[in-house]
Amino acid sequence: MFAKEKLGFEPIPLPDRAEMSDDERLAASAAFLEKMRKRHSVRDFTDQPVDEAVIRNCIATAGTAPSGANHQPWHFVAVRDPAAKAEIREAAEIEEEKFYAGGGGDEWIKALEPLGTGVEKSHLTTAPWLIVIFAQRYGEFDDGTRYKNYYVPESVGIATGFLIAALHDAGLVCLTHTPNPMRFLNGLLGRPESEKPVMILAVGHPSEDATIPSVAKIKKPIDEILTVK
């Protein structure tokens, strides 16, 4: 991505501005809040196809996220091949069996009870797409030498938030899935050792009888998550 000889600061005028009145800004923020309140993590998918172009646009949106030193330390693998999804599910369920057999610890497993999760991960094969998110520990110059990436977890977390919001805005649902450990994804998807898998997003359409756990509708009120000084 970077060439050593091209590194340097070159300011350009801000290319894009949002010109809004105070009233328009308030209305826009309220509308976006209302839209995001309708976002739900869904475990019940249909196999209805989703156009690849939609997935590309959503991942491109994720790629616009800010990152440490603008190194953009992420890679997204979009998986739609049924055989590949089946391999991912099989490997993920092996790790889930260990987790629910006690590897996760009593406190963690008890915390998950209100969500109704378990070993079986049928969404990994039913959903038309799996997006696997990788964090890049380091990058390479065009001559093959390495450079360090900075604030990698923070940067990848921001990009993932952009991606989830973009998928919701496109009328899709998704489910975050983080089997532990996830190193098997590097081998299955051909990603290098420099990348750490951090999440699987199952993406698609909710089934007719899709449900969510009632606890998912309980959100902390604004006064608990905001302090204004």
Q: What pLDDT does residue 2 have? A: 62
Query: Helices 52-62 and 152-169: crossing angle, nearest 10°?
Result: 140
Q: What pLDDT does residue 142 have? A: 80
Per-residue 3-state assignment (H helix, E strand, C coil) for 82-105: HHHHHHHHHHHHHHHHHHHHHHCC
pTM of the model: 0.94
Residue whose structure tokens are 């799996």: 130
Give the list of residues 6+ apart from residue 201 with CB closer than 8 angstroms, or none.
Answer: 130, 131, 132, 133, 160, 163, 164, 167, 174, 175, 176, 177
Q: Answer positive or negative: Cα dihedral of 140, 5, 153, 84.
A: negative
- What tokens does 72 get? 């953009």
Cβ-contact 142, 2 below 8 angstroms? yes
Going along the chain from its start, the domains and CATH numbers come out as 41-207 (3.40.109.10)
Torsions phi, psi of 147, nearest 5? Answer: -135, 150
Cβ-contact 179, 92 below 8 angstroms? yes
Cα–Cα distances in Å, from 14 out to 18, 63, 67, 71, 110?
A: 11, 19, 18, 20, 50
Q: What pLDDT does residue 3 have? A: 65
Cα angle 47, 49, 51; round to 5: 155
Series of mean pLDDT values for 10-residue runs along the chain (229 residues): 72 94 98 98 97 98 97 97 98 92 86 88 97 95 88 98 98 95 95 96 97 94 97
Distance CA 103, CA 125 (A): 24
Dihedral, CA of residue 98, residue 100, residue 103 and residue 109, to nearest 10: 160
Phi-psi region of 70 (alpha: psi -120 to 50; beta: other; left: phi over 0): left
